[in-house]
Chains A and B, each alone.
Chain A
Amino acid sequence: MSSELVIFYVLAAGAVGFAIAMLLPPLGKNPIHSALSLIGSFFCLAALYAQLSAHLLAALQIIVYAGAVMVLFTFVIMLLNLAPDEIQPLKVTTTKVVGGVLALFIFGKLLTAIGLAAAGAVPVELVEGQGYGTVKVIGRMLYSTFMVPFELASVLLLVAAVGAVVLAKRSLSYVDRPAPPPAGLNQLANSPDQGGHDETHGDPGHH
């Protein structure tokens, strides 16, 4: 067995192991442990991309996934700050059993498809000077053949950023309110929306 294959098995075991640890107890019980476990899985996948000469994607995987997306996840988990008794225990229900069986069925289907696709596949030799998987080659392709999808992706990210701000904002009228009402009124105004009331204690200097 070549060393490359050994490294692949180690990384694959890491990626799968961390992904399973994300879902099952003891790590899967707490969302923050799930998130940290998922970061480990992403790092293993980034190393796999590097092994497959996808250099740009390996860097993007760490910067965007393990960096930006997972920081967002951990940030939200810590912002919600669920108390230990609010974290529901994992229990087996009929829906979950059906879901597991369905996932197993789809996995079997995927395996048969892979058997057909992978039979006798031989990798092409990479030419040394062509820079396969580097920023230069992929960037050139992004700005020529895939120009329109690339611009659409930037619009999508802009819309997602604006949408996230609008969704996560407490309410629009809240911003326009010049001064906080007296304590009694404040209680009344916030009574249907208890979440807002809870968070007003967090940063009193803001209002």
Chain B
Amino acid sequence: MTAIPLGHLLILGAILFSIGLVGVLTRRNMLVMLMSVEVMLNAVNLTLVAFSRYRGWTEGHVLAFFIIAVAAAEAAVGLAMVLSVFRLKQTVYIDDLKLLKR
């Protein structure tokens, strides 16, 4: 029997998700944006774990497992893209990537 109310866990998940969202929307550094996406994925994981704890199910843990796998793949490909963009443009700031704007 856990003493933590479900609402507390869900609100923590919502706060973390919003922090990640603020990071993606407001920061212009590609590396920090990718990190913010990781925060958002972690918030979702926390919500899944909280719900499965309250239901006594294991399916939520399996889903969180898959989210971790996808997040690892996303980080690997995203960072490779940041690297190749940096090699091409010498910048990690998305404001400097305006080739289509001209």
Count A/B pairs, Cβ under 8 Å: 239
Query: Complex Cα distance A125/B76, Å?
Result: 39
A51 touches B4 (CB 8 A): yes
Instruction: Give A57 Cβ to nearest chain B Cβ, in Å.
Output: 6
A160 touches B73 (CB 8 A): yes
In the complex formed, the residue of B with least CB distance to A137 is B58
Query: Complex Cα distance A62/B33, Å?
Result: 21
Most buried by B among A19, A82, A96, A153: A19
Q: Which of A76, A88, A149 contacts B31, CB < 8 Å?
A: A76
B38 touches A65 (CB 8 A): yes
Interface assignment of A129: CB less than 8 Å from any CB of chain B: no
A1-17 toward B: CB 8 Å interface, digit per residue (1/0)? 01011001000100110
Instruction: Give A16 Cβ to nearest chain B Cβ, in Å.
Output: 6
- In the complex, chain A residues 98-138 whose Cβ is within 8 Å of any chain B Cβ: 98-100, 102-104, 106-107, 110-111, 114-115, 117-118, 121-126, 132-133, 137-138
Query: Complex Cα distance A90/B62, Å?
Result: 39
Query: Complex Cα distance A121/B2, Å?
Result: 12
Q: How large is the interface on B (under 10, 10 to 19, 20 to 34, 35 or more residues)?
A: 35 or more
B45 touches A57 (CB 8 A): yes
Q: Which of A31, A107, A138 contacts B14, CB < 8 Å?
A: A107
Interface assignment of B11: CB less than 8 Å from any CB of chain A: yes
A111 touches B26 (CB 8 A): no
Query: Complex Cα distance A90/B27, Å?
Result: 8
Question: Which residues of the partner chain B approach A172 to less than 8 Å between Cβ atoms?
Answer: none
A114 touches B10 (CB 8 A): yes
Interface assignment of A189: CB less than 8 Å from any CB of chain B: no
Question: Which residues of the partner chain A approach B29 to less than 8 Å between Cβ atoms?
Answer: 31, 88
- In the complex, chain A residues 143-194 whose Cβ is within 8 Å of any chain B Cβ: 145-146, 149, 153, 156-157, 159-161, 163-168, 170, 193-194
- In the complex, chain A residues 48-80 whose Cβ is within 8 Å of any chain B Cβ: 48-49, 51-54, 56-57, 60-61, 64-65, 68-69, 72-73, 76-77, 79-80
Across the A-B interface, give the 5 residue pairs with the lowest CB-CB distance, nearest first.
A99-B25, A160-B73, A118-B7, A195-B87, A167-B80
B residues adjacent to A (C-beta < 8 A) = 1-12, 14-23, 25-29, 31-32, 34-36, 38-39, 42, 45-46, 49-50, 52-56, 58-59, 61-62, 64-66, 68-77, 79-84, 86-88, 90, 92-93
Given contacts A60-B65, A65-B71, 16 further A-B contacts (CB under 8 A): A8-B8, A45-B42, A52-B9, A72-B76, A99-B25, A114-B7, A114-B10, A118-B7, A123-B1, A142-B62, A149-B66, A156-B73, A163-B77, A164-B77, A167-B83, A196-B87
